[in-house]
């Protein structure tokens, strides 16, 4: 999806021998520019073993997408495998680990000639399987990996390396690496948690790596902690880190059974939410829509407007269709507009799509994402002569919710326009209207309102975008 490595690509175009390898699709959900593209590179597979690599990459993919939240959001990902042959099989095992007694596991010392020079015993740890020997950047394997990607699949979002070895091992960083055995995929999922989804370790990672993050904080107030919406659900709490050395007592995590602590565990609810948030920020659930033509001359009625959505499984997307700010349909992928539905002159049809998954704490979730398509329909006396459309994305934050006096609104939108917010009481009465500038945080005093439920309705250029429930207590 992402267009990265342009500089590397530029130089590689001038290289004499840009190595091109066979790229095989393992899992295709849609166009590469509308999906998160994971790319698996082979290491330590000889030419004759590349069929086994595809089997291993497929098993890896099945394991990953059997795990929540990837199982629900599998349609947002493509997976490719780049078949890179090595001269010899497996990975180096120098036998120099200091954390075990070598030879460990009856594994002989060996050096093999492989493409990325993967090795066990990195930094003295037997199962640290890594591609720069003891962090020696003189090996330039990182650059070599980048070059392979630039020459063979520059649109990758995340690349990882599968090593043809049954001995447990793996490592993280820009390019997670793992052995092919049972835990390999789970090692990589943990590392993807860091590299693609901005999660922290839920074991203490050391003072240098401790920082405020989705699943790590110094805040201990249950009303303020960033995962407050989850407290008390599925064992989410505010758990102090433990460690032998360092300032771990200052830091807290949301769970005690998360894959970000131990790879035999699932993702905890807070990490799942973080992953889904990132998926939404990378990929719009609107894959395509119709019509896209900028000019439809004298179409016949009814005119069909439709969406092609990237649906989670089960489908948790909700859509709301508004014609001239009047809601005409919900949770449907298509509407038909009759000539009698239209006003004379300019009409606006907007569909807004949100994800109502319970894996996000929707009702009091801090930032929600709304994806819209708006069609402007010019209904002239001579019939519809022009339909234009635009696609937009809105990130809207409402907090704290519930509240008893001040509520804060913040909106970011790709239209770069002000939003109008109407606050509607449960009886349907408009109690407040606020104008919200793009990227601006605005604090609204609602202390004078009576307790109860209110609906905040958001409009952009007088076009209804979305409504959200607010609780005044």
Residues that bind Zn ion (CB under 5 A): 215, 255, 258, 260, 268, 271
Minimum distance from residue 354 beta carbon to Zn ion (Å): 24
DSSP three-state, residue 64: helix
Minimum distance from residue 269 beta carbon to Zn ion (Å): 8
Minimum distance from residue 213 beta carbon to Zn ion (Å): 10
Minimum distance from residue 471 beta carbon to Zn ion (Å): 27
Minimum distance from residue 260 beta carbon to Zn ion (Å): 4
Comparison of 196 and 271: residue with beta carbon closer to Zn ion: 271
Q: In 318-463, where does DSSP find H-type helix?
A: none
**Mode of pairing for the β-strands spanning 252-253 and 36-43:** unpaired
Minimum distance from residue 194 beta carbon to Zn ion (Å): 12
Comparison of 215 and 374: residue with beta carbon closer to Zn ion: 215
DSSP three-state, residue 167: coil
Comparison of 148 and 271: residue with beta carbon closer to Zn ion: 271
Comparison of 150 and 258: residue with beta carbon closer to Zn ion: 258
Q: Which residues contact 91 (CB under 8 A, 6 or more apart)?
A: 43, 44, 112, 114, 118, 119, 120, 129, 163, 164, 165, 167, 169
**Mode of pairing for the β-strands spanning 303-309 and 22-27:** unpaired
Comparison of 163 and 270: residue with beta carbon closer to Zn ion: 270
Minimum distance from residue 270 beta carbon to Zn ion (Å): 5
Minimum distance from residue 259 beta carbon to Zn ion (Å): 7
Q: Which of 126, 97, 124, 119 has the alpha carbon at shortest distance from 177?
A: 119
Comparison of 265 and 393: residue with beta carbon closer to Zn ion: 265
Q: Which of 317, 253, 226, 305 has the alpha carbon at shortest distance from 280?
A: 317
Q: Report d(CA 175, CA 367) in Å as an integer.
A: 30
Comparison of 44 and 269: residue with beta carbon closer to Zn ion: 269
Comparison of 40 and 196: residue with beta carbon closer to Zn ion: 196
Minimum distance from residue 274 beta carbon to Zn ion (Å): 8
Comparison of 235 and 306: residue with beta carbon closer to Zn ion: 235
The pair of three-digit structure tokens given for residue 6, joined into one six-digit string: 């342009």
Comparison of 19 and 257: residue with beta carbon closer to Zn ion: 257
Minimum distance from residue 220 beta carbon to Zn ion (Å): 17
Comparison of 275 and 384: residue with beta carbon closer to Zn ion: 275
């Amino acid at each position: 999806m992402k267009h990265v490595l342009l500089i590397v690509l530029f130089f590689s175009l001038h290289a004499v021998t840009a190595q091109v390898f066979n790229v095989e699709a393992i899992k295709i959900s849609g166009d590469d520019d509308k999906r998160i593209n994971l790319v698996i590179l082979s290491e330590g597979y000889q030419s004759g073993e590349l069929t086994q690599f595809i089997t291993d990459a497929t098993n890896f993919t099945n394991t990953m997408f059997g795990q929540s939240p990837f199982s629900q959001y599998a349609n947002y990902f493509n997976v490719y495998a780049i078949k890179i042959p090595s001269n010899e099989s497996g990975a180096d095992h120098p036998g120099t680990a200091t954390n075990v007694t070598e030879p460990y596991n009856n594994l002989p010392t060996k050096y093999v000639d492989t493409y990325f020079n993967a090795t066990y015993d990195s930094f003295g740890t037997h199962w640290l399987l890594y591609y720069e020997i003891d962090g020696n950047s003189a090996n330039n394997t990182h650059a070599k990996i980048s070059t392979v990607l630039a020459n063979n699949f520059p649109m990758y979002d995340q690349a990882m390396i599968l090593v043809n070895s049954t001995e447990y091992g793996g490592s993280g960083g820009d390019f997670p690496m793992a052995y092919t055995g049972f835990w390999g995929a789970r090692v990589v999922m943990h590392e993807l948690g860091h590299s693609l989804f901005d999660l922290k370790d839920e074991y203490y990672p050391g003072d240098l790596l401790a920082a405020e993050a989705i699943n790590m904080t110094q805040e201990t107030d249950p009303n303020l902690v960033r995962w407050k919406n989850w407290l008390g659900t599925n064992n989410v709490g505010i758990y102090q880190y433990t460690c032998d050395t360092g300032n771990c007592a200052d830091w807290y995590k949301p769970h005690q059974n998360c894959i970000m602590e131990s790879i035999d565990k699932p993702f905890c609810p807070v990490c799942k939410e973080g992953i889904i948030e990132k998926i939404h920020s990378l990929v719009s659930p609107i894959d395509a829509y119709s019509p896209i033509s900028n000019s439809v001359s004298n179409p016949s009625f009814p005119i069909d407007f439709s969406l092609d959505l990237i649906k989670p499984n089960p489908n948790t997307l909700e859509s709301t269709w508004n014609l001239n700010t009047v809601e005409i349909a919900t949770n449907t992928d298509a509407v038909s507009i009759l000539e009698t539905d239209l006003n004379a002159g300019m009409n606006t049809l907007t569909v807004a799509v949100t994800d109502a998954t319970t894996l996000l704490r929707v009702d009091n979730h801090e930032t929600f994402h709304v994806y819209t398509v708006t069609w402007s329909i010019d209904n002239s006396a001579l019939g519809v002569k022009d339909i234009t459309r635009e696609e937009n994305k809105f990130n809207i934050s409402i907090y704290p919710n519930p509240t008893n006096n001040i509520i804060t609104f913040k909106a970011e939108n790709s239209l770069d326009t002000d939003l109008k917010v109407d606050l509607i009481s449960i009886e349907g009465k408009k109690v407040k209207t606020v104008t919200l500038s793009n990227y601006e945080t605005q604090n609204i005093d609602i202390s004078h309102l009576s307790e109860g439920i209110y609906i905040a309705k958001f409009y952009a250029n007088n076009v209804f975008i979305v409504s959200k429930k607010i609780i005044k207590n």
